[in-house]
Amino acid sequence: ANATQCYASMWMDGCDIRHEISRSNYYVHKARLKYIGLDFTSPFDVTRMAPVLIQRKVIEVSALSVPSWYRQPQVLRLVS
């Protein structure tokens, strides 16, 4: 999977994959990428890619107080 991802990014950068790997590996990775909708037999077209929107949300953290019903565990107890 890592090699297939590497070849997909190389294809997106404009590299011709056929000259980079062996013929059998070319068809293996071609089939894997075609399964997820990428066809690297044709040149990569940037205009067909959908933009990726990243949202960031700030989470504010504040200190909490101990509830009134909570009791601390007593590990050591005096035994009479």
Please report, in tens digits, the pLDDT of each residue of the chain (80 residues total): 788 889 888 888 888 888 888 999 899 999 998 998 888 888 888 887 777 778 889 999 999 998 889 887 777 766 66
**Domain residue limits at 7:** 2-44
Please report the pLDDT score of residue 24 as a whole number: 92
> In this structure, is residue 34 part of a structural domain?
yes
Q: What's the number of domains the chain is made of?
A: 1
> In this structure, is residue 61 part of a structural domain?
no
> In this structure, is residue 50 part of a structural domain?
no
Positive or negative: CA dihedral 22, 24, 27, 32: negative
> In this structure, is residue 65 part of a structural domain?
no
> In this structure, is residue 26 part of a structural domain?
yes
> In this structure, is residue 53 part of a structural domain?
no
Q: Is 26 exposed, middle or buried (0-12, 13-18, 19+ CB in 10 A)?
A: middle
> In this structure, is residue 39 part of a structural domain?
yes
Please report the pLDDT score of residue 32 as a whole number: 92
Please report the pLDDT score of residue 45 as a whole number: 82
Please report the pLDDT score of residue 60 as a whole number: 93
